Every structure is written in structure tokens, then in C-alpha cells.
Homo-oligomer: A and B are copies of this chain.
């Protein structure tokens, strides 16, 4: 039994025509001899519509109830997709995340997969059925429904591929692969044939919005090769894999932007041990990811503390920071939602000094001020004015000549 895991995002199943196209693609893989497990997201804007319903009732509803609500989105998709496949005369069954054996921790709305119990999926595959699994959701050991956070369906697909020892894991999206930059932003952006797990991880974390970072992390840990491809065509996409890559001689692989950023500045924080821990553990306890952190020295017994969070976490962060800053006697908190992050990613950066400097120079040439800088071994990120971030992406893409094919 050669198992193929496919994942279809929300835009791939947004309406009846698209659902039928996805059904056709799954049937094609079945006819090619694969035992297919398809992981599906909620249709189109369903999740946002459900969030809006919750928003009418409460500004910060209990997260457990939010998961109860949101998980219906995928449940609708899997049922409809199974119907579309059955209509073509194929044997098929849909499974919710809990039924698919996706066991998670208790962190509602951002649960992590602890293990996959693939018993039911295997049984159905052995019985000759196509299996449709709801992405994004799982079950904790209380029997409660959890969700994996935005883009969690990718994680579901990779986890199932690992647990089932699948021959391949195909992630279908509305783009046909991983590009050097967002093609809607940069007309001469180029599709990459391959990219390493590490590079993809940085791209994913930085807002390329193609794969969920945790999915890539999991794929790296389990050695799962992901094939990112378009659900609207048959072209080969981009392979995200471990090991030696053909394109490793490229210093920079891609440029990304991330608009989902809020900058928080705490002015005059007491400069004594334990204060930073107090602030960031308060946020961590609520599973709020803090990205860039900068502490600046001042005269006297206080410092300024700056960090960024994503916009989804803004209301809750504000509430928590208000509590903690009152305790700590912080004089002022400034929030800025009008910033965006532009980043370059590339495994070749490690051995090429001067890459960051070239990026800063390009931004300066274009009159773009840098608010915060953050770097890792394979990426450089700058926080800039959101209105100027598109210009920044295009200028950096040109500077590193990413639109040109490199001959090995």
C-alpha cells in the first residue's frame, strides 16, 4: 500500500466547482494506484465568518469554545468533499481531526500535536476507502476539540504523512510553488524548484503564507519531503526537503514581507533582574508568540523594552500588558500597528558576510527607515513603515537579482 497524503487549502475547496475539481484530483491519484489521505481546510472565508459570529458575542470568548466553533469549518469541508467523491462512484469516508487520531495538548486555538494515532485511517485505507481528514483540529485527553492555529492543516498533513510513512506529502495551495518573492508584489519573482526545510522554515515564519512554520518544523524533524503545488494546474511545484540542495550556491533564496505585526514599546521599565521574565512569561502563558525583542539602555534605573507580536494576539496582549505594567509601574506603553516586516532568507548567508549590509543599503537608497533589525543564521528581518514595505520587497529582490535563473 503506497500512501499519498494530499492537503488542500481553503481556497482550493471554496465552492462546489472547486470541490469537484479537488475530488477529481484525488480520484486521479487513486486511479494511479495510491491509497490517498486528503487533508482539507475550511472553505474560503468560513473561519473568518465564524470568528465574526463569535466577535458579535464577546471580545475575548473562551478559547475552548472558540475551538468548538471553528472546528465546524473543516467538518463541513470534509463532508462535502466526501460527497463529491462518492458521487463519482468511489468508496470514501470523512474523518474529523479527533477521528483521524490527531492527539494534541490542551492549548486551545494553538494546540500542538503530541502524537498521531493512525489506526482508524489505516483501517479505512485497508478497506479500500479514500480517507478525507479535517485539517487544523485535534482532540486533547479530556476529549475536547482543539485547533492548531492558523494554517494548522499543513501540520495535520505532515503529521499524518509521518505517522503513515507516506510515499509523499503534497500541499496544494493557490500558488504553484515557492517563489523568490510574492509574484503579486514582484512581477519577475521566480519559482524555486527546491528549497531546504531550514530556508522554508524562515520563509514560513516570515509571512510567506505558503506553509505553516510548524508543519515545516515537523517535516524537518521527520524527514518528510513536502511538494508544494497548485490545485489549479498540473505543473510541478517546489520540493521542500532536507539534505543537499541544487540551489545552495544562491546566497539569498527569497524576500518576504509580513503585515501581521504590532510593535509594542514599554517606556521606562524598571531595570532590575526578573522584570523581562515577568513580562514575557505572562505572554508565554497565554501562548502569545513574541517575535523581535529589543532592550535599549537609558540613563537611570529604567530601560525601554520593545517587542513585536502578531495582530491576532493584539487584544489579549493589550489586556495582559495593562495588568503587568500597572504592577511594574511602567510609565507608558506605545502600540504601533502601522509597521511591516521585510526579510531576506538564504542558507548561503552563513558563509557570505555583507548580505545584511547590502539589504540595509538598499532600504536607505529607497528612503526607508529601519525601526528594528533581527537576524538568524539564514535570515535578516527589518521592521519598516507598512506603506513602504512593497517598495522595499521589490528593491531588495532586484538588488540580489533573484529574478534571474542561476546555472549551476
Contact = CB atoms under 8 A, between A and B. Distances in A.
Nearest to A61: B83
A391 interface: no
Contacts of A58: 83-84, 86-87
Given A16-B56, A56-B16, A99-B143, A68 B61 contact: no
A69 B46 CA distance: 14
Interface stretch (A70-78, A220-228, A252-260): A70-78
- Main SS at interface, chain A: helix
A20 B71 CA distance: 22
A144 to B, nearest CB: 8
Contacts of A78: 68
A76 B53 contact: yes
Interface residues of A, number: 36
A171 to B, nearest CB: 24
Given A83-B58, A143-B120, A93 B76 contact: no
Contact of A68 (B57, B64, B71, B94): B94
B72 A86 contact: no
A93 B64 contact: yes
Interface in A96-119: 96, 99
A80 B20 CA distance: 31
Contacts of A302: none
A39 interface: no
A54 interface: yes
A74 to B, nearest CB: 9
Interface of A: 16, 19-20, 50, 53-54, 56-58, 61-62, 64-66, 68-69, 71-72, 75-76, 78-80, 82-84, 86-87, 93-94, 96, 99, 120, 143-145
17 contacts: A19-B57, A50-B76, A57-B83, A57-B87, A58-B83, A65-B79, A65-B94, A66-B83, A68-B78, A68-B82, A68-B94, A69-B75, A69-B79, A71-B75, A72-B75, A72-B76, A72-B79
Given A50-B76, A64-B93, A96-B145, 19 more contacts: A16-B56, A19-B57, A54-B80, A57-B80, A57-B83, A57-B84, A57-B87, A61-B86, A62-B83, A65-B83, A65-B86, A65-B94, A68-B75, A68-B82, A69-B75, A69-B79, A69-B80, A72-B79, A99-B144
